[in-house]
Amino acid sequence: MFRWFEGLVDPYVPYKENDTPPKRLYPFLRAYAEPFKKVFWVTGISAIIIAMIEIWLLSYLGRLVDILGGGTPAQVWAESGGEFLLVAFLILTIRPAFHMLQILLLNNTILPNFGTLVRWRAHRHVLRQSVGWFEDDFAGRIANRIMQTPPAAGSVVFQLFDALTFAVAYIIGAAVLLGQADLRLLLPLMLWLVPYLFLLHWVIRRITPASEAASNARSAVTGRVVDSYTNIHAVKMFAHHDREIDYAKEAIEEARRTFQIEMRLYTLMDAGLMLLNGVLVVGVVGWSIWLWMQGMASVGVVAVATSLALRLNSMSGWIIWAMTDFFRELGVVKEGMLTIAQPVTLVDQPDAKVLDIRAGAVEVRNLSHHYGKKTGGLDHVNLSIAAGEKVGLVGQSGAGKSTLVKLLLRFYDVEQGQILIDGQDIKSATQDSLRSAIGMVQQDSALLHRSVRENILYGNPAATEEAMITAAQKAEAHDFILGLQDNEGNTGYDARVGERGVKLSGGQRQRISLARVILKDAPILLLDEATSALDSEVEAAIQQTLYGMMEGKTVIAIAHRLSTIAQMDRIIVMDQGRIIEDGTHDALLAANGQYARFWARQSGGFLGRGGQEIK
């Protein structure tokens, strides 16, 4: 039974991804709720039926009192015994059946699956964002919103059907029941209901923004805390423990302040509710007793009115808490939408095709990119790299080398100009096919917090164990991998490397990254200071591996250590976003320009600003 209800909705059902999700709250939730439409209808109807059954039971209580007061036990049983048995049967069967149906739909169909669907689709949407989008926010805050929004959305749905639908149906039924007993009993009910709704409206108007502010403050705390943990080496190295404590305390205090504001609303709400409930009980019960004393109502009517008043008294707190919880969770969802509902701006064109790599020639035409600013980046760059050609990129920090590589990978869309691979504009190709055709070894060789095997196979998940080990051997990584062991007892290729690979040295991370790219075996190879983290002995061995990798591939290598690119077919010198020199190592030395000055000053060091040597 449980499995049947749990399987009514598949949270991973295929759907059409929306690059521009709704910005307003209710359309946003409605889009996620689409697969649950039929289940929601059944759940809502069952909630109304349950409320009507409860009202009927109270109504029957009045009839029962009147029947019991109308004769001796023998007479009552003779006249109404069959009725009593029928009512008992209905209470033991129909009533629990509808309750069980609603509980199963809420607890086993909606709550587990709705939150899962929201989290799954939100994560898919966020992963499609550009690199630049992630660079503009805290990873911790993004993750926190992905984690707290789904349960909040699930709570919204739960309260909608478990409390709100039931409460509305119950209050309407109570009004009808009192009206049938005596229309005058509606007067104290209305005297309670109108200010009760006013109190509810007053709280709701304030609780949503207060909840949104509190949720945002909690996300900020998570973002700051995770930022400190992620960069724990820098925190310890610069002895900034107290600074980080103060940095987190500022956000924690703001979270406390916003939560205090939220709690003040609940205190005022409870105080107002207690006063109103007193009016309800005294008004309805007192009025019904007065009617009985005047001979205008039976004892059964008094019993029904008293039961309803006491029931509404106990329910009113539950209803108002459910309503405030409903709107508080809506505030959390709204805060989460700041991340989840942001449009994906870097997308494939509608007619995008898989990049057809025939040889790997790269052409850059009149390329300009300033990251939305007026300066920096690239300025009218033209460059042709033949298939299989090896090109080195040289220049001071900020010359535009990394920008050119990021645009080639289409981490950003170019602001002006084109980049073509084998004559195909990369903007007209799918992003996945473009990046599948490019292998890159970066200076910052961060790894996934997974096993060594998973990290290397990231380059080609379909590769065999033998191919993976061969790639590790070529990257001079196999021997040290066999000696690894993590704190869970995993060894060798099964050992976990820690977040961003922190359990390994920089050289070890670099060699695993290199093995991953070797296994990928892409036709275009990008090297961004690929051997910068290696010692001289390992670098000499890796250089031979790199030269072997380059065979038959188009290569673009960024290097500050010029000796690593001196054997390239061509060397491109960049300055302030432009190409200022282009030629072989010997030709550039003979030209006695910027490259020659770099070479003369370096003597095995590195290029700094203004071409100064850094040793």
**Measured in Å, how far apart are the chain's first and last C-alpha atoms?**
71
The number of beta carbons lying within 10 Å of the beta carbon of residue 247 is 16
Q: Angle at CA 158, nearest 5°, toward 152 and 163?
A: 125
Q: How far apart are CA 155 and CA 444, in angstroms?
A: 42
**Is the model's pLDDT at 294 over the cut of 50?**
yes
Sign of the C-alpha dihedral, residues 548, 549, 552, 556?
Answer: negative
Q: 509-559 pLDDT, tens per residue?
A: 888 888 999 999 899 999 887 666 556 666 666 677 777 778 888 999 888
Structure tokens at 219: 């996300």
Structure tokens at 263: 């709690």
Tell me if residue 606 falls in helix, strand or coil. Answer: strand
Amino acid identity at 117: L
**Which of the four pLDDT bands, split at 50, 70 and 90, describes residue 244?**
confident
The residue written with tokens 């909606």 in the block is: 110
Confidence of residue 149 (pLDDT cuts 50, 70, 90): confident
Do the first three CATH levels of 22-340 and 389-409+432-607 match, i.e. the same topology?
A: no
Span 376-391, pLDDT tens digits: 789 899 999 999 999 9
Tokens of 207: 């609780």
- Report domain extents, the chain: 22-340, 389-409+432-607
Angstrom distance (rounded) from CA 288 to CA 299: 9
- Residues 586, 173: Cα–Cα separation, whole Å: 93
Strand order in the sheet with 390-395: 438-441, 524-528, 554-558, 390-395, 570-575, 578-583
**Beta bridge mates, 499:** none
CA distance 44 to 93: 20
Contacts 24+ apart (CB under 8 A), 167-170: 167/51, 167/315, 167/319, 167/322, 169/47, 169/48, 169/51, 169/52, 170/51, 170/54, 170/55, 170/315
Q: Which two tokens stand for residue 184?
A: 């005058």
**What does the pLDDT read at residue 603?**
55
Cβ-contact 381, 404 below 8 angstroms: yes
Is there a contact between 103 and 40 (Cβ–Cβ < 8 Å)?
Answer: no
Distance in angstroms (rounded) separating the CA atoms of residues 433 and 437: 6
Taking domain 389-409+432-607, whether its CATH number is 2.40.160.100 is answered by no
Element (DSSP H or E) covering residue 581: strand 578-583
CATH 3.40.50.2300 holds for 22-340: no
- For 491, phi then psi, to 5°, come to -125, 165
Per the CB < 8 A criterion, the answer to whether 385 and 554 are in contact is yes
Cα-flanking dihedrals φ and ψ of residue 339, to 5°?
Answer: -105, -50
For residue 583, the surrounding DSSP H or E stretch is strand 578-583
State the chain's mean pLDDT as an integer.
Answer: 83
- Give the DSSP H or E segment for 120: helix 111-127
Q: How far is CA 218 from the centre of its chain?
A: 15
Region 456-479: mean pLDDT is: 91
Nearest to 59 by CA among 176, 141, 152: 176
Sign, CA dihedral 85-87-88-93, equals: positive
Q: Which pLDDT band, with edges at 50, 70 and 90, does 216 fall under?
A: confident
Lowest-pLDDT choice from 153-162, 324-333, 473-482, 581-590: 324-333
Rounded Cα gap, residues 317 and 273, in angstroms:
7
Lowest mean pLDDT among 81-85, 303-307, 501-505, 606-610: 606-610
521 vs 445: CA distance, rounded Å:
18
Convert the pLDDT of each residue in 549-560 to its tens digit. Answer: 788 889 998 887
| pLDDT confidence of residue 456 | 92
Query: Which tokens sit at 532?
Result: 């910068």
Cβ pair 59, 177 in contact under 8 A: yes
Chain position carrying tokens 């508080």: 328
- Kindly calculate the radius of gyration of the chain based on its CA atoms and give it in whole angstroms: 35
As a dihedral over the C-alpha atoms of residue 373, residue 378, residue 381, residue 385, rounded to 10 degrees, the angle is -140
Give pTM, 2 decimals.
0.74
Beta strand 570-575 pairing with 554-558: unpaired
Q: Which two tokens stand for residue 584?
A: 């072989």
Q: Long-range pairs for 98-101 at CB < 8 Å and ≥24 separation? A: 98/46, 98/49, 98/50, 98/53, 99/50, 101/42, 101/46
